[in-house]
């Protein structure tokens, strides 16, 4: 099972104990980042460790967290790749809505498979003033084996939360680049309406899934 099943649980590792010291640029944002993460810690643990929650309650809370902490507008536009400039604005808006529902459904389903995986913070790389790459490892409780997971995190001034996740890279495999490749294949044959219909059909059938196939360009 991929480490993306615990997306917001691993995000809390921004401030975990570690010997690695962030560089000066990251230090400038550390206070705000810490506030964001501390809030996320509490919410994440509430979802995964509250035994009083029913399965549906857990799904609802997981869905709310995912909707609050992923950069859906940016992700949706990126996933369209070279076709984005060819799609009319109203269709872009419709696609973003469908894409958001698709990703939320996919991640919400995955969080139900959480079985105590633990994250280990490794490093933060500041790519530019508003973009970070956060590296973690997810350790499986039964075997002790680990999976490398990186998060592309945007600092977003006009968002409800100061930081939003734009991509997840598992063992060098980018979810967004994989989606772009898959979506572009559909777009080239069936256009934006075909892609929207495809995603809506997968949501309806309960077949919304996120995968990865290529390394995120840096």
Q: pLDDT tens, 55-110?
A: 888 888 888 888 988 999 999 999 999 999 999 999 999 999 999 999 999 888 87
Contact between 170 and 147 (Cβ < 8 Å) = yes
Angle subtended at Cα 15 by Cα 9 and Cα 20, rounded to the nearest 5 degrees:
120
pLDDT of residue 197 exceeding 50 = yes
Instruction: Please state the separation of Cα 73 from the chain's center in Å.
Output: 12
Greater confidence, 83 or 116? 83
User: From edge to edge, which strands make up the β-sheet containing 118-128?
Assistant: 118-128, 131-139, 146-155, 163-170, 173-174
pLDDT average, residue stretch 162-169:
89
- Running DSSP on this structure, what letter comes out for residue 28? T
Query: What pLDDT was estimated at residue 204?
Result: 93
* Range with the largest mean pLDDT of 15-19, 38-42, 104-108, 206-210: 104-108
- Running DSSP on this structure, what letter comes out for residue 13? G
Write out pLDDT tens, residues 2-12.
444 445 455 44
User: Hey, what domains does the chain have and what are their CATH numbers?
Assistant: 26-205 (3.10.450.710)
pLDDT average, residue stretch 164-176:
90
Phi, psi of 32, deg, nearest 5: -65, -40
Using DSSP, state whether 161 is helix, strand or coil: coil
Place of tokens 């996740």: 165
DSSP strands (E only) in the chain: 118-128, 131-139, 146-155, 163-170, 173-174
Q: How far apart are CA 45 and CA 62, in angstroms?
A: 11
- Running DSSP on this structure, what letter comes out for residue 63? H
């Amino acid at each position: 099972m991929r480490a993306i099943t615990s997306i917001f649980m691993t995000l809390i590792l921004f401030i975990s104990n570690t010997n690695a010291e962030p560089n000066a640029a990251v230090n400038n944002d550390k206070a705000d980042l810490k506030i964001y993460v501390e809030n996320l810690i509490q919410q994440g643990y509430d979802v995964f460790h509250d035994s009083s929650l029913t399965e549906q309650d857990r799904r609802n809370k997981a869905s709310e967290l995912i909707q609050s902490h992923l950069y859906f507008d940016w992700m949706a536009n990126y996933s369209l790749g070279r076709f984005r400039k060819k799609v009319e604005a109203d269709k872009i808006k419709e696609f973003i809505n469908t894409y958001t529902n698709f990703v939320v459904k996919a991640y919400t389903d995955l969080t139900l498979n959480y079985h105590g995986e633990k994250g280990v913070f490794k490093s933060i790389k500041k790519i530019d003033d508003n973009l970070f790459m956060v590296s973690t490892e997810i350790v499986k409780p039964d075997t002790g084996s680990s999976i490398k997971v990186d998060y592309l995190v945007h600092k977003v001034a006009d968002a409800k939360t100061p930081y939003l996740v734009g991509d997840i890279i598992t063992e060098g495999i980018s979810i967004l680049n994989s989606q772009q490749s898959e979506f572009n294949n559909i777009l080239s044959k069936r256009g934006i309406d075909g892609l929207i219909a495809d995603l809506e059909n997968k949501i309806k059938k309960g077949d919304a899934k996120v995968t990865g196939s290529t390394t995120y360009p840096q």
